[in-house]
Structure 1
Amino acid sequence: MKGIVFPGDGTVGVSDFPEPAAGPGEALVKIRASGMCGSDLHFVHGTFPVGDVIQGHEPCGEVLAVGPGVPEGQVKPGDRVMVHHYYGCNHCRRCREGWPQMCETAPAATMAVHVNGGHAPLAAIPVSSLLPMPDGLSYRAGAAIGCGTGTAWGAIKRAGGVEDTVTVVFGQGPVGLSATMFAAAMGASVVAVDVDDARLAQAAEFGAAVTVNSRTASLVDVVSRYTDGRLADVVIDTSGRAADDALSVLGTFGTAVFVGLPGEVSFTTQAIYKKQWTLMTSWTMSTVEQARCADFVVKHDLPVDALYSHEWTLDQAVEAYEWFDRQDAGKGVFVFE
């Protein structure tokens, strides 16, 4: 079986791997779509080392077979499934809360870092990491929800919700566009910020009330005018490079959620303590929220598929990541028949 690999030297390859089988507690999944995530580029260039494993941590597909020890009816051949790409012990309090990436008994195993990922036709995956796909959700959307789009959902949930707020979303890549889409659907007035006019145009299509190119306009002036000087109730930084700008438009009693990396945040307490801010980080989402995210997408008929600007096949891996590394377009997905 062929699978995409990242040697860590800036190159991308396709290597041979043994065809997997469902082991104890696992299901064999036919991958239908596997998204390209911005963090892939850290793996490509070796800034975050990965093992000699198949890449891709946004897979989605169909169950072909189940291994021994899987309770009857938990999953069965033919089930359409999303993947939560972290594997924990399933017994500690964090795993039981749906946060295997925060497993307390041992470091969590992560697809495409420690174990094989989804940039291949087949994957053997613990059934504890599989989530049923609601009817009406495409495989492409299910893949996006597995990481990038789900990360945006998780950030909004960390903020405590955004209904009836002015929410400023920094960065309109796939995660930021997803945050804009969700916040608008939840009843927020969204101010979308980026330095690329094409991304801002898509943010408007996804429901942003105001778009700001922060290279050509004063962000503080725009947000201040829009809010009659009150500034934002919520800011979400998905860019990892806009912390100072994010805090500059955060109003009294506001909440800031920092998602993007590296994301250096600094402030002097004496200068801002009267603002009564709540500042937090957010990392991906729980299995519970991943399922809720998928249900919300279907209920509100949200255009998650429109996040993808390019589709690729496995034999186009090198070309796909050369394109993705330029970071001048949208999101890509590998599709499998």
Structure 2
Amino acid sequence: MQGVVFLGHRQLELMTFPDPQPDPDGVVIEIKASGFCGSDLHHYRGERGASLSSKSPQFLKDRGLTADEPIIAGHEPCGVIAEVGENVDPKAYKKGDRVMVYHYDGCRYCHQCRSGWVQMCDKGSTIYGQTAHGGHAQFMKAPAKSLLHLPSDVSYSAGAAVSCGTGTAFAAIERLDLSARDSLAVFGLGPVGLSILQLAKAMGIATVAIDVSADRVARAVEFGATAAYNSNEVDPVEVILEWTGGRGVTAAIDSAGAAAAKLAAIRSTATWGRIGFVGIGPSLPLDVTTDLILRQRTVIGHLTFSDVSMDRCVRFVAQNGIDLDKQFTDRWKIEDAALAYQEFDKQLAGKACFEF
């Protein structure tokens, strides 16, 4: 089979790999859709691609890896079980099942793993597409314990979206305990931000959307925003205060990662406001006393999602008929991987994926 390998410095290679065989407790998935994520660009643009050279010798030894081993990219895989290991319970997973992959694996024994937050594993987590082969290939090997069933009325590309961006959005909403009683400001309208808007609309939450891209702002209402503004043209804090009659929103989520967006997310919330930071970015010049203590605000740092939250997310999407497919503006064949990532690197369009 062929798989996409990031070499770094905006270079990738379509390499040939042996077709995988399932481990006794695992499966092989025939990939139907493999999404692109903004975090992939760190490896695409970086010095070493998805290299293992930054991992400790013990990490590599425990997993039977070497530092120079090429890794197939893609941590948003979705497809059909093609082969099943001998120890896998057929009542749980069988050949032909439609599945998503929770793209982390850990020791499964520590407190974090047992709570479902495998990416927080005390011994260090494996990340498919970064430290183990991912979904940018025709086939992918994975432990059966990392699988979740894909509802029949959710497409493979929508399942790929849930496998990272939409799953992250849903879990952030859960952690902020949002409901229809809230008003929500969303900073950054990439796939995570758009997912927040779609999910929030289904929950009855009024939202105001902020971005620096005129095209993304123009699409925000289509995705469920009550109002949308370009922060290159207006002061986002001022317009949000005006939108809320001077009180501020009860909650805000930053998925942009920029320091200015994070500060605006804090300062646009009301007293007792809750703020979720999803976007990874630079350090923040924050006046803790004025911005937090004197306004009784709560700030939460949020990293992706647990496996149980991912399951709740895909079921919520199915039950509410949320059209995640409209996030996708580009669908590619793996043979066009070089051009696909050149276009994705521009960050001008919507979500992208490989389809097989």
Q: TM-score, normalised by structure 1?
A: 0.96
Matched, 1:174 2:191: yes
Aligned to 2:62: none
Query: For residues 276 and 301 of structure 1, do their structure 2 counterparts lie closer, same or farther at Cα, with a shift above 3 Å needed?
Result: same
Query: For residues 66 and 320 of structure 1, do their structure 2 counterparts lie closer, same or farther at Cα, with a shift above 3 Å needed?
Result: same
1:254 to 240, 265, 273: 273
The CA deviation string for residues 19-45 of structure 1, in whole angstroms up to 9 with x for no partner, is 101012110100000000001110011
Q: Which amino acid aligns with 1:294?
A: V
Q: Which amino acid aligns with 1:71?
A: D
The CA deviation string for residues 86-143 of structure 1, in whole angstroms up to 9 with x for no partner, is 0112222222221111112x21100111110000000110011100111201000000
Q: Is the 8 A contact 1:172 1:203 kept in 2?
A: yes
Q: Residues of 2 paired with 1:24 and 1:262: CA distance? A: 40
Aligned to 1:271: 290
Secondary structure of the residue aligned to 2:148 is strand
- How large is the RMSD of aligned CA atoms in angstroms? 1.3
Q: CA deviation at 1:8?
A: 1.4
Q: CA deviation at 1:267?
A: 2.0
Q: What aligned pairs does 1:160-239 form with structure 2 within 5 A after superposition?
A: 160-239=177-256
Q: Residues of 2 paired with 1:270 and 1:196: CA distance? A: 32
Query: For residues 215 and 48 of structure 1, do their structure 2 counterparts lie closer, same or farther at Cα, with a shift above 3 Å needed?
Result: farther
Aligned to 1:57: 75
Q: Which amino acid aligns with 2:10?
A: G
Q: CA deviation at 1:64?
A: 1.1
Name the stretch that deviates more: 151-160 or 64-73: 64-73
Q: CA deviation at 1:226?
A: 1.3
Q: Which amino acid aligns with 2:40?
A: D
Secondary structure of the residue aligned to 1:68 is coil
Aligned to 1:32: 32
Q: What aligned pairs does 1:266-305 form with structure 2 within 5 A after superposition?
A: 266-272=285-291, 273-305=293-325
Aligned to 2:55: none
1:245 to 256, 264, 267: 264
Secondary structure of the residue aligned to 1:14 is strand
Secondary structure of the residue aligned to 2:256 is coil
Q: Which amino acid aligns with 1:324?
A: F
Q: Is the 8 A contact 1:86 1:101 kept in 2?
A: yes
Q: Is the 8 A contact 1:243 1:263 kept in 2?
A: no
Aligned to 2:329: 309
Q: Is the 8 A contact 1:88 1:103 kept in 2?
A: yes
The CA deviation string for residues 49-81 of structure 1, in whole angstroms up to 9 with x for no partner, is 523210000010000111122223221001100
Q: CA deviation at 1:268?
A: 2.3
Q: CA deviation at 1:166?
A: 1.1
Q: CA deviation at 1:15?
A: 0.5
Q: What aligned pairs does 1:37-48 form with structure 2 within 5 A after superposition?
A: 37-46=37-46
Aligned to 2:165: 148
Q: Is the 8 A contact 2:7 2:48 kept in 1?
A: no
The CA deviation string for residues 241-261 of structure 1, in whole angstroms up to 9 with x for no partner, is 011111221110000000111
Q: CA deviation at 1:318?
A: 0.3
Q: TM-score, normalised by structure 2?
A: 0.91
Q: Which amino acid aligns with 2:23?
A: G
Aligned to 1:4: 4
Q: Which amino acid aligns with 2:38?
A: G
Aligned to 1:79: 97
Aligned to 2:116: 98
Q: Is the 8 A contact 2:50 2:73 kept in 1?
A: no
Query: For residues 174 and 48 of structure 1, do their structure 2 counterparts lie closer, same or farther at Cα, with a shift above 3 Å needed?
Result: farther
Q: Is the 8 A contact 1:88 1:100 kept in 2?
A: yes
Query: For residues 258 and 118 of structure 1, do their structure 2 counterparts lie closer, same or farther at Cα, with a shift above 3 Å needed?
Result: same
Aligned to 1:131: 148
Aligned to 1:15: 15
Aligned to 1:107: 124
Q: Residues of 1 paired with 2:24 and 2:108: CA distance? A: 14
Q: Residues of 1 paired with 2:94 and 2:155: CA distance? A: 19
The count of aligned residue pairs is 335
Q: Which amino acid aligns with 2:187?
A: F
Aligned to 1:331: 351
Q: Is the 8 A contact 1:87 1:110 kept in 2?
A: yes
Q: Is the 8 A contact 2:163 2:310 kept in 1?
A: yes
Name the stretch that deviates more: 4-13 or 67-76: 67-76
Unaligned runs of 5+ in 1: none
Query: For residues 30 and 288 of structure 1, do their structure 2 counterparts lie closer, same or farther at Cα, with a shift above 3 Å needed?
Result: same
Q: Which amino acid aligns with 1:253?
A: W
